[in-house]
Structure 1
Amino acid sequence: MKKILISVILIILINLNGTIVEYEQFSDELKKGIITDSGSLVLIEEYTATWCQTCSEIDPSIQELAELHNERVALIALHPADGVDDLGNYASGSRINSLFNGSVVQAPSFVIDRTSYIEGAPEISALNSLILQSQSKKSNFSEIKFSVLKKENKLNFEIILDKNSVGVVNLMILENKLTSNNYVGDLDKFDNVLKEMISFNISSKEILTSEENAQYNISSLNENLKINLTYNLNGDMNANNLGFIVTHEVVEDNIYEIKGVAKIIQGELNVNDDSNVLLILGIFFILGVFASLGFLDTTARNEEE
């Protein structure tokens, strides 16, 4: 019983680190390979722009909210490919078009798990409430095993799902600390910017995006569906500032549903973080359960004997 207790505590402690890697360690860890096993994250997509004054004012609060939820959310910044925002690109433009069905929307706008929408600057409390609501619905999600390894100028990805999974898998490459030549306000560096999105139809096992920089293979092994992808880093990406998000989505009658979200990103780990506090409280809760059932006393008596 003591071994079981120790195992449970170790599992919880491992989860304190999760898939957020400290900034100064990220580059080295990427060369060794980073692995996550997740799927239950809430996906927050922000339509923003370098020319948006309101966006520059609220972005620090949005970042703080994302850090508060830490390993329970994945945040993406989508910049329009409008010829004005110099951080916009084809991937962001395509995602924006998919989220809003080609409609013109106000910046900033937020999409939570493709089900909740806020147009305009939100009250942080309202956005936080939507995140908590989405988290409460995560009892049934797609488990995603996701890894990335950097070798020279190549990124090797492996994504594993249940072999019966259908729909679309998106691999999103983000970049932090980007600068703009035409920003407004006080925000001069931009994080979580979508730079690349590679999409797969896992039902037909084919790639959906035209991608010259990637080679891929989709295979089935035992109970798993596996996607292997090699991505050639282009010159305008700083490998030291990258982050990665995988989403599993299904669509029926033009209605999308997020089935699973996993991430490997840079960030600051704080043991006082809200999510970590909950995990630590979980340790004490488990200890209390064992104590109330007499397992700890029994273990102690057995050791004395």
Structure 2
Amino acid sequence: MRRARRIAAGLLCLLAGACAPRLMPPGPGAPPDTPAPALQRNVFRTADGIPLFLRHWQAQGEEKAVVLALHGFNDHSGAFAGGPEVIGVGPFLADRGITVYAPDLRGFGTSPNAGLWPGVEALTRDLADLSWLIAARHPQSPLVLLGTSMGGATVLAALADPHPPPADKVVLIAPALRARSTLPPGLAIGLFLVAHSVPWYSATGEGLDIRPSDNLPMLRAMGRDPLVLKETRMDALWGLVNLMDAAFKSPPHLKGLPLLIAYGSHDDLVPEQPLRLFASRLPDPDIQTVRTYPGGWHMLLRDLNAEIPLADIATWITAGEVP
């Protein structure tokens, strides 16, 4: 009987291990001749040796500030490049004297093992390392951390870390703040069960009544973009909620840091209530503000009227005020 119980317990442990959420594996370590982390041409090499593609737009004329821009969930750094369907955040800010860097975050875009969740610790460590490298390259310019959706949550979680990135200002575009405490009853439990029983199961989001932007040509272009992930593993969703939990708890760590949150009134992905709860706990309302754009959507900087919030952001970065 004891032997049978031991065998049963062992099988249950194996089953639990097989069904545990899977994280993106760490990199191979830095090459012997390359200090890690490192900032190279079009590449940010992480502390564990993973090469992450890095876009760069140099400020035109006198450099007024430097922005490190982080993309959203299942997206990549091309979100800031622009094209025939949308204004490019990078070129727009560069034309106004603001240098922009935008990496493919670990687990997304061109990075290895894209589609596997990298983990909160890996995301925030990469952000801190890259921020210090960029600050060292541009010592005379203020460094602004800009994050859209999941990128915004990554910025907040990193600022709450014991080893935060350097930042003179922060801009958050529709930051992902759906912490467990803001989810409908039972949803967090259901996500836990799914992520720990069938973590490999993928969902596409088809059939959901969600409209991320009013820019339909841009959305169609995203649908054709092979670097935009079209399916999401359940354990990746579980990891995203962990990140949003960390971001939602960050306000005590933001004291004294100028912060601008831009939010579209038609945002279907980030409800207004979690954002209101978060904003109510900001420690310095005199320098930390939420700007709501009537008619704006979740992809606010890629909407048809994206030039309006983009111009406001550029003015706030360089002059410290929103028109």
Q: TM-score per shorter chain, which class?
A: under 0.3
**Greater relative contact order (CA < 8 Å, ≥ 6 in sequence):** 1
Under a length normalisation based on structure 2, what TM-score does the superposition of the two structures give? 0.24
The structure carrying a bigger strand percent of its residues is: 1
